[in-house]
Amino acid sequence: MAFLLSAVALYLLSITQAVVAKPCIAFDSTWNLYAFGLDGKDYNASSQAAWTSSAQSRLLLFTPANFSNAGTPAADITTTGRPPFDGANTTCYLAQYFNAIYVINGDAANPNSVYIYNVATPGWSMQQTTPGGFSFANFGAILDHDTNVFSLRHLTQIPDALSSGEMYFLDMGDLITANSTAISWTDVGPSPYGASYDPVMAIANNHIHFLDVPSVPAGSADIFVIHFSWYQPFTQAYPLVNGESGTIPNTQGQVASFFQESNTVQQEFAFIPQDSSNTYVINVMTNDTQQLAGPTTKDPLATYFAGVTSLVQLSSSGAVSFLPYTQGDDAGNSAATWTPVAALAAAVPASTSSGASSSATASASAGSAKSSGTATAGSSSSTPQAAGAGINGASSSHHISNALAGFFAIAALVCLL
């Protein structure tokens, strides 16, 4: 009897851990795609060529007969020292110069830590930080390419970081392995926005671009020049290319910056509005915008990460899909469509066929911030439609239904005794 009661307690604990897990995605400096905390494990999905094999056509339905032919699964790279990916707002960032991936808010028990994944080793370490008087539970941040400095705005309602209208820096130096000394977040002064502004932040050309700013026209952005800690006094417009009609809407959404193969500063970033109606790619060198296909999975809680030739979406149900992209190829980009990442679907198959409607209800907390590495959604309450590779994600409904079934089975056994 005591054993069964202990089993029930452990089972309930496992349910809680499964539901609260917050996976994230990132690239390394050779453009292998990683999914961390996906169904409790970490995966390396290899390069884009491995995602776009003919195996994708066989991923539309998983059965015992065809699963073995569903393509090469992503490699399980789960190891010791990793974060549990149980923070409220877990985000991942690539330090391209150093081929390291940083994870913020991946450990609820150590909220001030930044976990470092050293791709070359490979392996994890945990870097302690001294916070600047803000909570990591609700923030948005970017990682500057050249200085390896986080910029963060924190919300009491956003590495640079804004907190209650303040901007913070965290200098990661050349860290690929944590050291024994905590590094400090530095308050660099107030932003021109009040605490009520829910920032949408993107990094490109060593500048932070703020979208959905009050009183700024649709299709324009405010700019913070990182190297001079200076807010540009005028807004910058980003009209659609080739005189096309329409504009970037003033709305909440997600952002992800495209890297350069040459390891120079980012020149473009993607903006996905909360309704996923379109994907906008803004080029800050030419000051114009491409309007591309919106994600197939309409999910305001999805997060995004861009490499050089793709934009990847991780939905709140754990589905991973991507939009191929080539800088300068307007025609090819306009024709591109979102496609499941085959390697991850093969590693963590869905409980139902691809394209099924997810019953996981997205409910984002008010004031959640956006960042350009990966991002959380802003205020919303909707039911995302899970299309693409429906992987067992943190909030996937079958996690909960299977868990409840297991619980009731154990409870029934206890009652019989």
Residue 14 lies in a domain: no
CATH of the domain at 177: 2.130.10
Residue 196 lies in a domain: yes
Q: Which pLDDT score is estimated for 321?
A: 97
Helix ranges, 27-173 (H): 48-51
Coil, helix or strand at residue 234? coil
Residue 82 lies in a domain: no
| Integer CA distances (angstroms), 169 to 19, 177, 187, 277, 340, in order | 32, 19, 7, 33, 36
134 alpha carbon, distance to own chain's centre: 21
Q: How many domains does the chain have?
A: 1
**Angle subtended at Cα 215 by Cα 211 and Cα 219, rounded to the nearest 5 degrees:** 45
Residue 398 lies in a domain: no
Residue 339 lies in a domain: yes
Residue 180 lies in a domain: yes
Low-confidence spans in the chain with pLDDT less than 50:
1-19, 54-69, 154-161, 351-369, 372, 374-416
Task: Give CA–CA dist 417/415, Å, rounded.
Answer: 5
Residue 269 lies in a domain: yes
Listing DSSP states for 338-405 in one string gives -EE-HHHHHHS--SS-TTPPP-PPEEEPTT--B-SSS----SEEE--B--S-----TT-HHHHHHHHH
Coil, helix or strand at residue 407? helix
- In this structure, the number of other CB atoms found within 10 A of the CB of residue 105 comes to 28
Q: What is the model's pTM?
A: 0.79
Residue 231 tokens, joined: 């807010």
User: Which range marks the domain in which residue 140 is found?
Assistant: 50-77+128-393
Residue 92 lies in a domain: no
Residue 220 corresponds to which amino acid? Answer: S
Q: Which pLDDT score is estimated for 392?
A: 38
Q: Which pLDDT score is estimated for 2?
A: 44
- The string of pLDDT tens digits covering residues 330-387 is 999 999 999 999 999 999 875 432 333 333 333 333 333 455 453 333 333 333 444 4
Find tokens 């539970």 and name the residue.
137
Q: Which pLDDT score is estimated for 102?
A: 98
Q: Which pLDDT score is estimated for 21?
A: 66
- The string of pLDDT tens digits covering residues 227-259 is 888 899 999 999 999 878 889 999 999 999 999
